[in-house]
Amino acid sequence: MSAAGDAAAKRRTAVLISGRGSNMVALIEAAKAPSFPAEIVRVVSNDPSAQGLQRAEASSIRTAVVDHKQFGKDREAFERALQSELESNATDLVCLAGFMRLLTPWFVTRWTNRLINIHPALLPDLKGLHTHARALEEGRKWHGATVHFVVPEMDAGPIIRQARVPVLPDDTEDKLGARVLEVEHRIYPEALRLVAEGRVQVVGNVCLVDGKPAETFA
């Protein structure tokens, strides 16, 4: 296949961020490989001061801002503007990478099995925030990260990929979080590759990867 054909076959992917965008950078770096099946076509932030916007631009990725504050408490109006931005770029897949807005069913259902998130815990355990501190407080022996499809219920979608790290005796929240972040940067590109290659099928609330249930650790 020609280079033009390879580019045409890539799934057009947008990344949504609210902060520094370290997982966004991992996705951008992975997508630079000619064989990677997804192309990062746009990075969108709800916060105009997000550091990740500059990091994306440094990699020649086009950026946009849809500032949620301009919409007050009207979440659907914000999401309609976000949807318009994504549609204008013919987006196939959306990756959330530190996007700190809860999305309503109005938005989520328009991206069923095409909206991907990464969570710093082994779902379905430790949903929500402050997962590293909670893992330490609960005396867990293992912690990790999960890439999953987004559904209207928070952190409850089908799991695409997980990886775990041991919780060490001298761990602090920062030490544990740093090790989890390392695996996040590995498994998010892996999961995006699987989805973009069409190797993930959702049956009920379970992901089948190459016809077999995705490996989980929780």
How many whole angstroms separate alpha carbon 100 and alpha carbon 47? 10
In a domain, 51, yes or no: yes
- Contact indicator for 191, 131 with CB cutoff of 8 Å: no
Query: What's the predicted TM-score (pTM) here?
Result: 0.94
In a domain, 218, yes or no: no
> What confidence tens digit (pLDDT) does each residue in 148-184 have?
999 999 999 999 999 999 999 999 999 999 999 999 9
How many whole angstroms separate alpha carbon 115 and alpha carbon 90? 14
Mean pLDDT of the chain: 95
- Count the Cβ atoms, other than its own, within 10 Å of residue 199: 15
| Positions marked catalytic | 119
In a domain, 42, yes or no: yes
CATH number of the domain bearing residue 145 = 3.40.50.170
In a domain, 60, yes or no: yes
Domain residues for the domain of 29 are 3-213
**Single-letter residue type at 69:** K
Report how many domains make up the chain: 1
What pLDDT score was predicted for residue 2? Answer: 40
In a domain, 67, yes or no: yes
- Contact indicator for 14, 91 with CB cutoff of 8 Å: yes
What pLDDT score was predicted for residue 218? Answer: 62
Q: What is the mean pLDDT of residues 198-209?
A: 97
